[in-house]
Amino acid sequence: MMLEENTITCGDAFDLLRKVEDESVDLIVCDGPYGVTQNEWDKVPSIQDFNLNLIKRFSTKLKEGGALYLFGKQDCIDFIDYRPYLNLKTKIVWYQPSRLAQGRWSYTNNYDVICFFIKGKRPNRFNLDDIRVAQLVELEHRLRCERVPSVTDGKYGKTKFNELGKNPGDVWGDIKQLTYKSKELVSRDTLNTIQKPEKLIERLVLASSSPGDLVLDPFAGVGTCPVICKRNDRRFLAFEMNPEFVAAGLSRLEELDRGQNILRFANVS
């Protein structure tokens, strides 16, 4: 069976991954098990071993210079040696200060990590201008810095103050988790453990792929990454084992075809 592009295939990610052509993928967005919830699919004996296994498999599927974003908790790649397979460029902290659960015996965890890996030394893509964020610097300070010769005439020109904004850095506090009131939420059941904000996934896709590139989402949930890929003219391969989530994701994709942004809930339980 050939894998169909630009749709969500229902099945087990590990089985389907075998069918992906080696060295064909530009970007992998992997928002799979974290090993922390009571969902059956999230119960893995060791999240580190699970992730190392994924990293090995992904490394054969990525093109040289291709990128992987791996989601997890702070210890998700601790004490495993991923270096023979991929290079870790950045551990992005997705900061969520409004988390309601409060730790009683230790500090409340207020972030997820998104591990940004590259196959080889240099990424094929890093479309910084597509993901710049507002630069909140006082005008007076800015003007003073702009007059410094190393900034105006330096090797990198005016890199410190770019009118388009700045590099988002590696701590992202500007993208909020979805809430019950979020318009893009597919169902209350997908809050927190499943659905990610479109803005978060869009930053990854825009930074590390270009139109026409092939993006792989092996744990597609309710289809956030496929929706972003379709909206931004990326080709995609997406896998999800829960048929109801697949239906919800396909319905989101269809709504894009009809030019609607409003989501209709496809009976997720």
Ligand X SMILES: C[S@@+](CC[C@H](N)C(=O)[O-])C[C@H]1O[C@@H](n2cnc3c(N)ncnc32)[C@H](O)[C@@H]1O
Closest residue to ligand X using C-beta atoms: 221
**The two three-digit tokens of residue 129, written as one number:** 């201008």
Residue whose CB is less far from ligand X, 97 or 243:
243
Of the candidates 111, 14, 124, the one whose C-alpha atom is nearest the C-alpha of residue 68 is 124
Interface region with ligand X, contact rule CB under 6 A, candidates 112-120, 131-139, 154-162, 191-199: 191-199
Q: Which residue in the set 68, 230, 245, 247 belongs to the binding site for ligand X (CB under 6 A)?
A: 245
Q: Which residue in the set 77, 117, 242, 253 belongs to the binding site for ligand X (CB under 6 A)?
A: 242
Residue whose CB is less far from ligand X, 69 or 85:
69
User: According to the binding rule CB under 6 A, does residue 66 interact with ligand X?
Assistant: no
Find all residues with CB under 8 Å of 177, minimum gap 6, and list them. Answer: 96, 98, 99, 192, 197
Distance of alpha carbon 72 from the chain centroid: 11
Residue whose CB is less far from ligand X, 65 or 255:
255
User: According to the binding rule CB under 6 A, does residue 224 interact with ligand X?
Assistant: yes
From the number of C-beta atoms within 10 Å of its C-beta (0-12, 13-18, 19+), residue 48 rates as middle
**The two three-digit tokens of residue 37, written as one number:** 């919830």
Signed CA dihedral, 223, 41, 185, 132: sign only: negative
Residue whose CB is less far from ligand X, 69 or 124:
69
Rounded to the nearest 5°, which phi and psi values hold at 144?
-60, -45
Q: Smallest gap, in angstroms, from Cβ of residue 12 to ligand X?
A: 4
User: According to the binding rule CB under 6 A, does residue 112 interact with ligand X?
Assistant: no
Residue listed under structure tokens 């409003």: 262
Q: Smallest gap, in angstroms, from Cβ of residue 227 to ligand X?
A: 9
Residue whose CB is less far from ligand X, 36 or 145:
36
Q: Smallest gap, in angstroms, from Cβ of residue 176 to ligand X?
A: 14
Residues 11-40 binding ligand X (CB under 6 A) are 12-14, 31-33
Of the candidates 161, 159, 118, 152, the one whose C-alpha atom is nearest the C-alpha of residue 28 is 118
Please, how many CA atoms are within 13 Å of residue 137, restricted to the half-sphere of its CB? Answer: 16
> Is 118 within 8 Å of 66 (Cβ atoms)?
yes
DSSP 207-223: HH--TT-EEEESS-TTT
Q: Smallest gap, in angstroms, from Cβ of residue 41 to ligand X?
A: 4
Interface region with ligand X, contact rule CB under 6 A, candidates 6-14, 50-58, 61-69, 72-80: 6-14
Residue whose CB is less far from ligand X, 222 or 253:
222
Q: Which residues form the interface with ligand X (CB under 6 A)?
A: 12-14, 31-33, 41, 194-196, 219, 221-222, 224, 239-242, 245
